[in-house]
Amino acid sequence: MMKRKREEKNECMDIVWQTPANPPLPQDYIFRNGIRLVRPYYFEFIAHVKNRWAGKTIVDLFAEEFKGRPYEYYVSAVKCGRIQVDGEMVPVSYVVKSSQKISHFLHRHEPPVMACEVSILQKESDVLTVCKPASVPVHPCGQYRKNTVVGILQAEHGLGPLFPIHRLDRLVSGLLIIARNATKADSFRQEIEAGLVKKQYIAKVVGEFPADELIVDANIDYNAREGRSTAEVRDSAKGKVSSTKFTRISSNGTHSIVLCEPVTGRTHQVGKLLVDFD
């Protein structure tokens, strides 16, 4: 019991508060052996009390509505201040009221990414064109917040707010166009939806790719939990319909350079089809 109290006291002292308003900073990153790491931090997740939550104690609310953690965790989190109401620490017996802001500070250990620079190729008043390195996601998602293209550009170049108008998968490198205001982002999205903007990928594959142009129709079934996709036959009940055009640019018999033009935009579409073809 005494050991647990000491641990809770130390944990309270070590908390580094981070809210959605805090932009990533250069000192948040550690570079080691070609890897970009993020210093661990506590991040504020915000919710507002719904009418059906009102009248419950803060601990009972979390235990009943967020069952992924044990009751004892929420008791400790309230006592330590990792769970707050309207920005204030409250006792475990506190009864919440409708529309109050509840903050839950969770300890974050972001996965590492490659320590490649996010190169700025062109910088205009309302548009930014960068070279996205492989392994780095475009924007905050899942376990990533600071180890993202948007986060790195904010930390290292002071650029923000940023509005990505298209996305490249985390493992893919390539050109990324980012709007610097909401108006420009909407303009780009309208052009994309109208088919006026298209994506092209260049891939290096093992083997001699067929010389004739190939159009591959398949369903791409993306498993968000595992972060993996499978290619299914076109009439399968699984996945979403996809269509991709492949054109061989060159080949030396051992490797081939292939132009990949997705007609649809599905997660892992190009990479998964190329791997299955190989």
Closest CA to 144 of 169, 179, 167, 113: 113
**Catalytic annotation, pick one of 14, 60, 169, 186:** 169
d(CA 3, CA 235): 60
Question: Using CA atoms, how far apart are residues 246 and 212, in angstroms rounded to an integer?
Answer: 9
Cα 261 to its chain centre, rounded Å, is 24
Q: What is the CA radius of gyration of the chain?
A: 24
* H or E stretch covering 118: none
Supply φ then ψ for residue 12, to 5 degrees: -60, -40
Task: Report the candidate in 69, 66, 68, 75 with the shortest Cα–Cα distance to residue 94.
Answer: 75
CB 175: neighbour CB atoms within 10 A?
14
Which of left, alpha, beta for 60 (phi over 0: left; psi -120 to 50: alpha)?
A: alpha
End-to-end Cα distance, the chain:
59
Helix (H, G, I), strand (E, B) or coil at 8: helix
CA 168 – CA 93 distance, rounded (Å): 47
- Catalytic site includes residue 169: yes
Q: Hey, what are 20's tokens?
A: 């959605």
Q: Nearest 5°: phi and psi at 157? A: -130, 0
Q: How far is CA 98 from the centre of its chain?
A: 31
Give me the active site residues, please. Answer: 169
